[in-house]
Homo-oligomer: A and B are copies of this chain.
């Protein structure tokens, strides 16, 4: 790659990286294109020579982040025991929490495409977790009072709700970390019941 192309790629990456950081800090909607350009140290117009529209920039970043997240999650969890899968999912969410907190908070504002993208990626992860859960149940001969998919949906609903309410519930640090024990307790309760099956 020649110097010019290298420079172009560097600029593009700088814009993406800075924008991702700003999104996680200020939210996607309130981060303006001029903010991104200034923070990246490029002219406002440069941004539009790399990304036709603001929406395309947002989509690029979300795509990259969600892909990374999913890949990381699946890499960690190949051949893991179910409780480790849940644990590492929560740990991974803690790591990326500022970004995903914003994503779920602003889910209803971004356009339909982006919304589908986000929901799709998370549903893949949910399905994977459900699959691991069902394996775990049958391997240990456990039959739960509620349907397995209801239990997993339930846990995911709570996780997404906590991410969504992180700011409102005023968690300076990680809300997932703060709620982790509760989540695990609820999950175990749903698996083993009120301590009478185990």
Indicate which residue in B27, B29, B158 contacts A157 across the interface (CB closer than 8 Å).
Answer: B158
Give chain B nearest CB distance to A194 CB in angstroms. 3
- Sorting the interface of chain A by its residue count into under 10, 10 to 19, 20 to 34 or 35 or more gives 20 to 34
A185 touches B146 (CB 8 A): yes
Nearest B residue to A101, CB-CB: B108
Give chain B nearest CB distance to A158 CB in angstroms. 6
B193 touches A29 (CB 8 A): no
Task: Give the distance in Å from the alpha carbon of A119 to the alpha carbon of B164 in the complex.
Answer: 13
- Across-interface contacts of A106 in B (CB, < 8 A): 108-109
A139 an interface residue at 8 Å Cβ cutoff?
A: no
B145 touches A154 (CB 8 A): no
- Across-interface contacts of A158 in B (CB, < 8 A): 154, 157-158, 161
Give chain B nearest CB distance to A180 CB in angstroms. 14
A145 touches B115 (CB 8 A): no
B109 touches A168 (CB 8 A): no
A167 an interface residue at 8 Å Cβ cutoff?
A: yes
B193 touches A115 (CB 8 A): no
- Across-interface contacts of A160 in B (CB, < 8 A): 161, 165
Task: Give the distance in Å from the alpha carbon of A58 to the alpha carbon of B12 in the complex.
Answer: 40
B109 touches A109 (CB 8 A): yes
A-B contact pairs, 24 of them (CB 8 A): A29-B109, A106-B109, A107-B168, A108-B164, A109-B109, A115-B168, A144-B194, A145-B195, A146-B185, A146-B189, A154-B158, A154-B186, A157-B158, A157-B165, A158-B161, A160-B161, A160-B165, A189-B190, A193-B196, A194-B194, A194-B196, A194-B197, A196-B196, A196-B197
